[in-house]
């Protein structure tokens, strides 16, 4: 089945991950300089991918790997939110930022509606299948972002002489 952990083991996860989230959020907000935001966002994006992979391959009953997975995801979440918001404020004008936020929020609501039902079905088929699907979605999203915003993959305009 599932994780193969005792209920007493699972109860420690929210405490540890909250502690990690609060600590890393404090660090990300107070110590990181804006010139490093883009690089930090790119590197931090690897954390949930690595954490999900670790979670998928964790043997049942192994609390340490489950904790590492949740810690990696919380570090990503605590760095990504504040840094992405600050970075977008510094590179976009207000109207563009409002439009992007509106589209993002709408898409998020559309995707969240069926997510709980789909997650329940996937989990009932095989618990790790849910995390495999999440990993595939993350990889697809990051690939799309990479190819869309990487100047090496964009078509170069030719100048008329």
Per-block average pLDDT, block size 10, for the chain (161 residues)?
A: 71 83 79 79 82 84 83 82 75 78 81 84 86 86 75 53 44
The pLDDT, as a whole number, for residue 152 is 65
The pLDDT, as a whole number, for residue 78 is 80
The pLDDT, as a whole number, for residue 8 is 78
* pTM of the predicted protein model: 0.62
How many whole angstroms separate alpha carbon 54 and alpha carbon 19?
A: 21
The residues, ordered by sequence, that sit 6+ positions from 49 with a Cβ below 8 Å of its Cβ are 135, 138, 139, 142
The pLDDT, as a whole number, for residue 158 is 46
The pLDDT, as a whole number, for residue 154 is 54
How many whole angstroms separate alpha carbon 11 and alpha carbon 104?
A: 33
The pLDDT, as a whole number, for residue 27 is 77
Residue whose entry in the numeric block shows the structure tokens 């509106």: 102
Q: Are 117 and 41 in contact (CB under 8 A)?
A: no
The residues, ordered by sequence, that sit 6+ positions from 80 with a Cβ below 8 Å of its Cβ are 41, 44, 45
The pLDDT, as a whole number, for residue 76 is 83
Give CA 90 to chain center in angstroms: 22
How many whole angstroms separate alpha carbon 57 and alpha carbon 65?
A: 9
How many whole angstroms separate alpha carbon 70 and alpha carbon 13?
A: 8
User: Residue 97 corresponds to which tokens in the numbers above?
Assistant: 């930022």
Instruction: Collect contacts of 84-93 with beta carbons under 8 A, ≥24 apart.
Output: 84/41, 86/34, 86/37, 87/34, 87/37, 87/38, 87/41, 90/34, 90/37
């Amino acid at each position: 089945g599932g994780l193969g952990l005792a209920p007493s083991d699972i109860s420690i996860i929210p405490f540890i991950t909250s502690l990690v989230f609060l600590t890393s959020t404090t660090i990300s907000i107070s110590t990181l300089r804006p010139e490093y935001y883009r690089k930090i966002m790119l590197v931090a994006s690897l954390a949930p991918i690595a954490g999900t992979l670790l979670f998928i391959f964790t043997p049942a009953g192994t609390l340490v790997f489950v904790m590492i997975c949740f810690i990696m995801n919380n570090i990503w979440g605590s760095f990504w939110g504040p840094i992405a918001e600050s970075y977008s404020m510094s590179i976009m004008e207000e109207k563009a930022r409002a439009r992007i936020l509106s589209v993002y929020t709408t898409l998020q609501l559309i995707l969240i509606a069926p997510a709980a039902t789909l997650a329940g079905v996937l989990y009932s088929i095989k618990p790790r299948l849910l995390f495999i699907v999440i990993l595939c979605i993350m990889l697809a999203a990051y690939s799309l972002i990479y190819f869309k915003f990487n100047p090496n993959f964009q078509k170069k305009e030719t100048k008329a002489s």
